[in-house]
Structure 1
């Protein structure tokens, strides 16, 4: 034990370490909750994206059927800003 390591200084150091540990545990819990929330949001966005892709596919098929066998493709359209 070093000369400057009195029981009082050891108690102070231990209290400081316990305080830091408590803050770290708090932030880990906070980050864990944030990650879980982001994961739920990502799942919902992936479901929405899949639904939108399916609806776009259905609309494309409907437009192809209206254009006598699909002679016109949506990919060939020039965007409105050109």
Structure 2
């Protein structure tokens, strides 16, 4: 494809390409920042999830210890007016 463009047309095409490149670079930077923020949030949520799992495990163990034979639970006690 051989077309003869004037210097003004070539300059206009070059400016258009430079503008598009700058726009794409801007969006790449924006997306990079969004991904980095999501990575930080994901790490925080993973830490929170691990903490919650540990607490649930501790509560489960405490409930099992309370359910051991020979121990009574408060909800099993007969109220004093009966």
Normalised by the length of structure 2, the TM-score is 0.80
Structure 2: any 5+ residue segments left out of the alignment?
70-82
For the aligned residues, what is the CA RMSD? 1.0
**Cα deviations by residue, 1:18-70 (Å, 9 ceiling, x for unpaired):** 0000000000000000000000000000000000000000000000000016x
Q: Which has the higher contact order (CA 8 A, sep 6+)?
A: 1
Aligned pairs for 1:39-58 (under 5 A) are 39-58=39-58
Match in the other structure for 2:12: 12
Q: Distance in 2 between matches of 1:2 and 1:31?
A: 38
Offset of residue 2 of structure 1: 1.6
Once residues 43 and 7 of structure 1 are traced to their aligned partners in structure 2, the CA distance between those partners, rounded to angstroms, is 54
Q: Residue in 2 aligned with 1:35?
A: 35
Aligned residue number for residue 65 of structure 2: 65
- Larger Rg: 1 or 2? 2
Q: Which runs of 4+ in 1 moved over 6 A?
A: none
